[in-house]
Amino acid sequence: MEKEKIKIECCDSFHVHEEVVNTVTEMMPEEEVLYDLAELYKVFGDSTRIKILYVLFEADLCVCDIAQLLNMGQSAISHQLRVLKQARLVKFRREGKSVIYSLADDHVRTIIDQGMEHISE
């Protein structure tokens, strides 16, 4: 029950007060949540996936259409769509012989817009 004590002694003195240590340990999300969060951002951390998302901003498209638009191989796109799917950033439906991909929700747009805002400052 007793909270594990964290001894902060560095820089030849105590820079971090116990108060800060407590606040930090309280505010810090669970290790697992932090890991999941990093995993989500990793998905955005590839320009091919960013491009796919941008393309899907404009229209719902099948795999080979995306591949053509981005001038990339079908397999590469399929692999990346899997990553986006696992992160619940895109969803899909079957239409005839094709599988049509579309954006899962508005978070995608918000997150990308925020990033855009940051880099264009």
Partner DNA sequence: TTATCATATGAACAACTATTCATATGATAA
Partner DNA sequence: TTATCATATGAATAGTTGTTCATATGATAA
Q: Are 74 and 101 in contact (CB under 8 A)?
A: no
Per-residue contact flags (x/-) with DNA for residues 82 to 121, judged by CB under 7 A: xx--------x-x-xxxxx---------------------
Nearest to 78 by CA among 42, 39, 48, 47: 48
Return the residue of 23, 25, 74, 110 that touches DNA, per CB under 7 A: 74
Return the residue of 53, 80, 87, 90 that touches DNA, per CB under 7 A: 80
HEC readout, 70-84: HCCCHHHHHHHHHHH
Q: Give the list of residues 6+ apart from residue 88 with CB closer than 8 angstroms, or none.
A: 104
Closest CB to a copy of itself among 68 and 102?
68
CA distances (Å), origin 65, targets 8, 18, 25, 108, 116: 56, 57, 48, 21, 25
Q: Does 76 bind a copy of itself (CB under 8 A)?
A: no
Binding site for a copy of itself (CB under 8 A): 6, 8-12, 15-16, 20-21, 23-24, 27-29, 31, 33-47, 49-51, 54-55, 57-59, 61-62, 64-65, 67-69, 88, 97-98, 105, 107, 110-112, 114-121
